[in-house]
Structure 1
Amino acid sequence: MTTVVIAFCPHAGDVTMKSALKTAFAKEMAGARAAEAAGDMALAKHHLERAHILGQRWYGTHVKTHFQMLRLALKQADGKEVRGQLVRLIGAGPFHMAGWIPLGNTGGADVSATRPMPIPSDLQSHHEGHSLRNGLILRAVLVAALVATYLLVVR
């Protein structure tokens, strides 16, 4: 049973978000709320994009960021962004399960949801040691082991 949990873990080895990363994510989310309250929607989106970069390897924080982007888009009556966020919210689960996390992607509808992007220099330390390739290989091996185990049990 534990293998199933690990196989579909979005962060390939990091079971919990590190304290410094949690703090940085919370700071960006708070910055977005403050900017929105002050009426600066562009700055609010900027903070949400940075939060997306920080939180995208963890399903909960990833989805939370997209929900906030959707809420902001609805508030601005931005139809393109609303549609883009709905697509991203639907796709987040399957992409996480498959291990495809395009690092650096800002999460807005103005960029491809599958395109890795450069990570801002002040956020790079939070992504040290993460390897998309290794995460995909780990998932492939674990899924193959699960399928083999299932086939042995069923027969």
Structure 2
Amino acid sequence: MNPIIKEAFEKEMQVARELYFSKKWDKAFTHLEKAHILGQRNAIPHTVNHWWMLKIGIRKKDKKEILGQIIRLAVAGIGSILGRAPIGNTGGSNVGIMTPLPISSDIAQIFIKANLPIL
């Protein structure tokens, strides 16, 4: 994983974990979505991210999110390895697994700094 992307991913994951343990599920999920965009090109971070999304789905008793994350956990690593992760996809069950999304300017700047393509 590119060191610039890794640092940004780990920062978002850390904030998400802190919010998770403070029972601020929705705020935590927002940081997991940012981390997902950053980490989806790498199998292990991508899979770890979906694990935390599943944990929030369980805490919120959100059946759609739970099912969506179980499915994503089954394919996340494979999608990363094969280069099939859709760029910009935020990883939640409210978005199709293969749906690309626009990348926010703050996340785009991280990719530019890392000298990685956004598209």
Q: Same fold (TM over 0.5)?
A: yes
- Shift of the 95–42 alpha-carbon distance from structure 1 to 2, 3 Å rule, reads same
Residues 57 and 66, structure 2, Cα contact 8 Å, conserved in 1 = yes
1:40 corresponds to which letter in structure 2? K
* Residue-by-residue CA offset, 1:86-135 (whole Å, 9 max, x unaligned): 11111224423432120110000011010010111111133343376xxx
- Aligned match for 2:2, one of 10, 18, 23: 18
The aligned counterpart of 1:63 is 47
- Aligned match for 2:26, one of 42, 57, 70: 42
What displacement does 1:38 show? 2.2
Gaps of 5+ in 2: none
Q: Rg: which structure is higher?
A: 1
The aligned counterpart of 2:59 is 75
Find the aligned partners of 1:84 and 1:110 in 2 and give their Cα distance.
9
Alignment partner of 1:100: what SS?
coil
The aligned counterpart of 2:38 is 54
Identity %: 41
- Shift of the 23–94 alpha-carbon distance from structure 1 to 2, 3 Å rule, reads closer
Aligned residues between the structures: 116
Residues 9 and 35, structure 2, Cα contact 8 Å, conserved in 1 = yes
Gaps of 5+ in 1: 1-16, 133-155
TM-score normalised by the chain length of structure 2: 0.88
